[in-house]
Chains A and B, each alone.
Chain A
Amino acid sequence: MVTIVLNKYKLLNPLKISESELEELLFNLKSEMKPLDENSVEIEINADRLDLLHSAGIIRAIKGLLNIEVGESKYKVVKTDYKLIVNDVKSRPYALGAIVYGLENLDLQELIQFQEKLHSTIGRKRKKVAIGIHNLDKIDSKEILYKYVSLNHKFVPLNYSEEMSVKDVIIKTEQGKLYGEISILDERSPAIIQNDGQILSLPPIINSEKTKLTEKTKNLFIDVTGTSFDAVAQTLDLIVTNLAEAGGTIGIVETKIGENVISSPLLIHNLVQTNKDYISNILGFNTEICPQIMRMRMNCEDDGKVIKVLTPPYRIDVKKEIDLVEDVAMGIGYNNLGIPKYSATSYGEYDELSLLERKIRDLSIGANFTEVFNFVLIKDSKLLENDYVKIVNPISVEYNAIRNSLLPVLLDFLSRNQHARFPVRVFEIGDVVIRSNDTDVGYTNDKRIGYAIMDSRVSFEELQSPLHYILKTLGIEPIYEEVTDNIFMEGRVAQIKHMNKVIGILGEVNPLVLNKFKIEYPVVLGEVYLRRLKY
């Protein structure tokens, strides 16, 4: 999800619709609109529809849904004598340029927002793609170069008044600190420069003050650089088509990459073929395909057998036949598809452990234990056994490990409830994570049930008794064996065994452990491993 802020009248006035109609139309274009203040609205755009990050793109899409304009939007394209010469820039090899002429009343704020949202999405925070937008009239040469410059090269960065070396730009400016390291290689930085050596922009960091845009700027030069040719070409297409939709004329720049000469922007069109049955069968809805595709602002031909769609450059999300299905559904409107009533024709099936879990929960309630439900993540210092899964990148020390037993979880719970009305009798059923050689990840979830009683006086038998009869009701004949365990008091702890397997442990908690959890009342605690009861 990407969020943009727009003046709502930029949309309402040209489309002549009400705010609620706009909201509804945007909803059907995967977007959600929320009012911010009297004039502005916040619109959440889905990450696949980058064409909607600018008001011109939204207007284009809505005109289709309203049948004001259908099919591909056509833009004026002219040749120019500008050239972009791309040198061998290993750390950021791809660059394309384009010109847009004749813009009126340039909305600088929106243009910058559009640029930034493209940076954060398709641009992967400028790593994959970065955009420089310049006032064309301030560029002195018809030949523009993309090449490395040394870190000592000087220029005036955007919004500064004095010359700085590239090195200083990286160290001192805010953008330099954020993006400076991305494309530096061998003490050199990629740059877009005039043929006299003046820097126009320093991708992916910053533009120059020289070609700064103002509200009066009418003609733009746009450079897009990056590490993926496809992403660079698509980004440039998205920018120029939206500016053209807003009234500009696209100017072609001859881009030389080695021996190859490319007319840029590429204005990529892909042919995607399908047929009516394919789409109708997937949707479960029969309709004429082409009219819907055209309303989604794509050209469409139907010869009765094959449907041919030439995807426009602003719809970079449509690549394959399957992608057309969604557009047809959106054309119809998801809520107009007529939802069939679903009725189950098969029987459901619980996981075996789920059924055991339900039985043992019922029995535990019968034994007068209240169910508690704690987090799986825990602070590692609370764990009582050393073998546990640590989170490499925790966001809080309180949750930097995964519980490997329910015992510390219950002790932690009790320590927070010492002022509650006594007795406190609780149980928790849930997964812990332990090491395992039987899984492909080396760890496994292990479902357990933990019991705890805290009172002014407790005894081993007070827990053993209910637990014994819970287990017996489940068809298990538990045997208790003396064991030594640091968590519990010597001589007051037992392993619970069933058919020679240890299925759990219970005992009175060692005062040292109670101290660790700052518990001032005696506690009797137990844990049963559910998987071992059945398998």
Chain B
Amino acid sequence: MGRVVVDVMPKPEILDPQGKAVAAALARLGYGQFTGVRQGKRFELEVDGEVTDEHLAAARDAAATLLSNPVIEDVVRVAAEQVRAGR
């Protein structure tokens, strides 16, 4: 089994209320060294066999049409990932 990982992040100029909430909670818990948090999404797309270039191209396409909304989000990574044995 192969796996393609797609990471999607809110665009820098778009307000990220979730990230702000997490940042405030971190500060409350004493992690004051973190000055900002942005919260994104990670998708794991599984395929039979090794990840091919076709898989990656399809994942990029899916990332642009469904997994992200380009108005508010950037696809920051589409990559094959080594799948550990036993999972």
The reply to whether chain A is a binding partner of chain B is no
Hey, which bits of chain A sit against chain B, CB under 8 A? none
